[in-house]
Amino acid sequence: MNAAVAQLMDREMVQQYIKAWEQADAATLDALLADDFVNHSPPLPPDKAGMQTHAAEMHAAFPDGVYTIEFITAEGDLFAVYGRFQGTHSGADFMGVAASGAKADFAWSTLLRVQDGRIVERWGTADDVMGLLVPIGYQVVAPQ
């Protein structure tokens, strides 16, 4: 298989990963994340099992949440993805805050390294974390 075809297949797999994350699809996440997967972005969990749990927690808190991909670019085995999350905090508690009914809307980005058709590493950021936390009632307190 030539490199262009492999990269196209990996791009489709990255899109499938984002959709599986949105839906907290544990079986698909299990298939797409390598067994030795490493997340390099605290406070999210560092391993595959932790990331599957976090996806389930996010989906439980924001059951209508949608991760929209704005763009994907690739170089070699690295895929940079930028998008938006929009959802209503109508489900379970999130970070100690009971369901508020508030709308969350924030930008996110992630860098994924793919090897042999599976995601082996992730670096990510919520570019606008306050777009998630403040609307649901999370209290940000300045140091005294």
Question: What pLDDT, on a 0 to 100 scale, did the predictor assign at position 136?
Answer: 78
- On average, the pLDDT of the chain sits at 89
Partner residues linked to 75 by β-bridges: 78
Is pLDDT at 74 greater than 80 in this prediction?
yes
DSSP-assigned letter for residue 20: H
CA proximity to 58, closest of 7, 108, 95: 95
Structure confidence at residue 130 as a pLDDT band (50, 70, 90):
low
For 7-36, how does the pLDDT look when each residue is reduced to its tens digit (9 = 90+)?
778 889 999 999 999 999 999 999 999 999
The size of the chain, in residues, is: 144
CA pair distance 54, 39, nearest whole angstrom: 12
CA proximity to 90, closest of 59, 61, 132, 58: 61
Q: Which amino acid is at 40?
A: H
Is pLDDT at 128 greater than 70 in this prediction?
no
Is pLDDT at 127 greater than 90 in this prediction?
no
Question: What pLDDT, on a 0 to 100 scale, did the predictor assign at position 137?
Answer: 76
The CATH class of 3-133 is alpha beta
> Which two three-digit tokens encode residue 113?
């390294």
CA dist 111 to 15, 29, 40, 123, 144, Å?
A: 13, 16, 10, 5, 36
DSSP-assigned letter for residue 46: S
CA pair distance 47, 88, nearest whole angstrom: 27
3-state secondary structure of 50: helix
| Residue of 51 and 130 predicted with greater confidence | 51
